[in-house]
Amino acid sequence: MKDKVVIITGGSSGIGKALAEVFGKNGSKILITGRNPVELDNTIFELRAHQINASGILADVSREEDNKKMANEAMRVFGQIDVLINNAGITMRALFEDVDLAVIKKVMDINFFGALYATQSCLPEIIKNKGSIIGISSIAGFRGLPARTGYSASKFALNGFLEVLRTEMLHKGVHVLTAAPGFTASNIRKRALTKDGSAQGESPRAEEKMMTAEECAQHIYNATVSRKNILILTGQGKLTVLLNKFFPVWLDKLVYKTMAKEDNAPIK
């Protein structure tokens, strides 16, 4: 990855920030996007303090024009695009019967359409350089989770898009990776949307028991270097995907029981 230009959407915190660090420390040139100017500036400062060649741009992935600006900025600053990591994402927590459908639309706009906009904006350069497109999906993209209607639907859609893109790029030398972390310690659950669109505020899960964002990022970096197609992380994640394939009805009950143990779970 040395001297490769890597764009990371939503790169100012969590897994995105950890990805910027691991790719940057291995010699990549980094462009990150974010919606919070303070977080974005602080992250750029930290990356540069580690001697990482990093730049940032304020951008909302759910806006098609912002993604075009992002690609143009990468070309202006670095002159090429080799890797796009579709990392920007948001989650939600509410039963479908209770949720305002505007919440699900917002999640889809960021998690799914954001990846489409960013990929199409960067694709010509990535085809030219035979680079990589990476989608940060989730185990929820393989197995739907109760009270995560919008999140699960967006990740299922992302998985389908990446599978199609991988097939279309088969003879163009472009690598497409679907990366599905299990539960990973990050701020995504604190910013999760509730049924009315307000932020959840606190994580309902024990963050300290999860894989760290740094560990997750290292796995994704390794999978990018080896041009792997699908990466499913954590033992729990791998077991969930496997069991759902062969015992879906039984897993419905197990997933329900597991998710009902969360603090203030919408299901009981």
| Residues known to be catalytic | 151
- Facing residues of 104 across strands? none
Helices 149-168, 101-108: axis angle to 10 degrees equals 30
Give the amino acid at 178. Answer: T
Helices 213-225, 14-25: axis angle to 10 degrees equals 50
Q: Which two tokens stand for residue 35?
A: 């919606």
Q: For every residue of the chain, which 3-state class applies, written as one string?
A: CCCCEEEECCCCCHHHHHHHHHHHHCCCEEEEEECCHHHHHHHHHHHHHCCCCEEEEECCCCCHHHHHHHHHHHHHHHCCCCEEEECCCCCECECCCCCCHHHHHHHHHHHHHHHHHHHHHHHHHHHHHCCEEEEECCHHHCCCCCCEHHHHHHHHHHHHHHHHHHHHCCCCCCEEEEEECCCECCCCCCCCECCCCCECCCCCCCHHHCECHHHHHHHHHHHHHCCCCEEECCHHHHHHHHHHHHCHHHHHHHHHHHHCCCCCCCCC
d(CA 30, CA 24): 6
